[in-house]
Amino acid sequence: MAGFWARRRRGAPELQVHDADAGLATRVGSALVAADDHLRAAADELGFAEAELGFDATLQPAEVLAVARRQLSEAFRLNRRNHEADAGSADEVRARYLRVVDLCEAVERVLDEQAADLAERMSRARRAPDLIAGVRADILRLRARIPYARTTIDRLGARYARAALADIEANPADAAQLLAFAEHGVGVAERRREAGRRDHADVALEASARAVRRAAALLDAVETFEVEALRAEATLAALADECRRDLAAALGAPRSPAAADAIAELQSALATLPVAGVNTDPIAHRQRLRAARNALDRALAATRERATREPSSVPPVVHVRHAVRDADRRLDVARDAVAGHPGCIGAEALARLAESERIRVDLGHYLGSAAAETTVATADLTHRAHVIALARRAAALASESLALARQDIGAFRAQRLGA
């Protein structure tokens, strides 16, 4: 009886594997049937699209369908291989099943994407007459706006500087040229459509629609500039007063080099403001004042933040000096020990000393000179901690070199006494 239950326990994993393979085989069968049905439906849809759009317009979808058909054929071949007598081990069979599932999913995904693309193209082809009519209506509507845009440019030229109108001065002429191109493109689209070249008609129609959208944007920019110029002109005086108050406050507060540069830029922006009655560019003046004021606010905020965190997180100046001097002192001691016992010092001690000297040279470059007091580091708050770290590393290596040198000297003396 015990042997029977042992056989039952030994066979349980095998039964689980068999059940898992059976479930995978069922899944593969369902995937193959679904992908085959999808492929047949896609072939029918491609035939309808070819009849409506033309043969040339469906060349790429036909290639996609051919690739999907080859992938599905490969999936069927792998599935048949798994049902042959010499199918191989269970792992090989399972790997083929998983590959079949992947191929079927890839076919389904590609066919879904292709179906969506064909549906969009067929919908656009069916809407082509309405789209052509809409583009022609837009061309007429925008052409009626061109004389008003030219009048607006003339009116703005009498009030504002010529440089202020540089971005919009040519907009009416450019819009007229774009509309002429759009009209030509619509004509091409109609002729190509009548000739059965709907793919060419779609390209021409899309180019016409883009030209119409660009022309509308150019004409809108003229009207937008007029409104923005009036708004800038109305708010420029108040903004200048606010900038002067901020400038006065900044001049009386501690400031960094960045804040000093921002103050100079704001002073320059205020100095270039025009007097009354002079044609100018109010939008450009407003933008420059705002940019200079924002830069000053950021610089002053950074200065205040640095002043706030200096006592707690930035090492004091005296700590920087002490760290550098301690490194120099330890280096001098290590150098004297090595120089006073030529031929006694081992390679490791010499390597530590060389590394310490290299860091001290780097520290000297960082400070401005190898023997400089820490003027650079103490002036730049953000560099103090880095200077201290370099100095401490140089000191530590010098101490390690000295300790190793003393061991080497002791060993050399003991060797001589023993001899």
Q: Do both 178 and 272 map to the same domain?
A: no
**Among candidate residues 266, 290, 312, the one where a domain is terminated:** 312
Q: Do both 67 and 166 map to the same domain?
A: no
Q: 181 pLDDT exceeds 90?
A: yes
Question: Could you tell me if residue 212 is inside a domain?
Answer: yes
Question: Could you tell me if residue 222 is inside a domain?
Answer: yes
Question: Could you tell me if residue 8 is inside a domain?
Answer: no
pLDDT value of position 324: 85
Question: Could you tell me if residue 143 is inside a domain?
Answer: yes
Q: Do both 346 and 261 map to the same domain?
A: no
CATH code where residue 40 lies = 1.20.140
Q: 397 pLDDT exceeds 80?
A: yes
Q: 14 pLDDT exceeds 80?
A: no
pLDDT value of position 176: 94
CA–CA dist 81, 100 (Å, integer):
11
Question: Could you tell me if residue 330 is inside a domain?
Answer: yes
Q: 106 pLDDT exceeds 80?
A: yes
Q: 380 pLDDT exceeds 70?
A: no
Q: Which domain holds residue 101?
A: 19-126
When pLDDT is averaged across residues 154-170 and rounded to a whole number, the result is: 87
Q: Do both 334 and 405 map to the same domain?
A: yes
Q: 355 pLDDT exceeds 80?
A: yes
**Among candidate residues 60, 94, 126, the one where a domain is terminated:** 126
Q: 83 pLDDT exceeds 60?
A: yes
Q: Do both 27 and 121 map to the same domain?
A: yes
Question: Could you tell me if residue 10 is inside a domain?
Answer: no
Q: Which band of pLDDT confidence, cut at 50, 70 and 90, is reported for residue 56?
A: low
The chain-wide mean pLDDT, for the chain, equals 80
Q: Do both 23 and 121 map to the same domain?
A: yes
Q: Which band of pLDDT confidence, cut at 50, 70 and 90, is reported for residue 416?
A: confident
pLDDT in tens, 28-48: 988 889 888 888 888 887 777
Q: Do both 390 and 368 map to the same domain?
A: yes
pLDDT value of position 4: 40
Question: Could you tell me if residue 105 is inside a domain?
Answer: yes
**Among candidate residues 232, 253, 278, the one where a domain is terminated:** 232
* CA-based nearest residue to 250, from 212, 210, 293: 293
Q: Do both 225 and 245 map to the same domain?
A: no
Cβ contact 292:265 at 8 Å? yes
Q: 91 pLDDT exceeds 90?
A: no
pLDDT in tens, 259-295: 888 888 888 888 888 776 567 888 888 888 999 989 9
Q: Do both 204 and 249 map to the same domain?
A: no
Question: Could you tell me if residue 7 is inside a domain?
Answer: no
Q: Do both 50 and 83 map to the same domain?
A: yes
Q: 57 pLDDT exceeds 70?
A: no
Q: Do both 186 and 269 map to the same domain?
A: no
pLDDT in tens, 316-346: 667 778 888 888 888 898 888 888 888 888 8
Amino acid at the residue 172: P
Q: 148 pLDDT exceeds 60?
A: yes
Can you give the pTM of this predicted structure? 0.46
When pLDDT is averaged across residues 167-178 and rounded to a whole number, the result is: 93
Which has more pLDDT, 181 or 127?
Answer: 181
* Structural domain count, the chain: 4
Q: Do both 28 and 106 map to the same domain?
A: yes
Secondary structure, 3-state, 35-88: HHHHHHHHHHHHHHHHHHHCCHHHHHHHHHHHHHHHHHHHHHHHHHHHCCCCCC
Between 15-29, 168-182, 263-277, 361-375, the lowest mean confidence (pLDDT) is in 361-375
The b/e string for 364-391 (b: 16+ C-beta within 10 A; e otherwise) is eeebeeeeeebeebbeebebbeebbebb
pLDDT in tens, 237-250: 888 888 888 888 88
Q: 119 pLDDT exceeds 80?
A: no
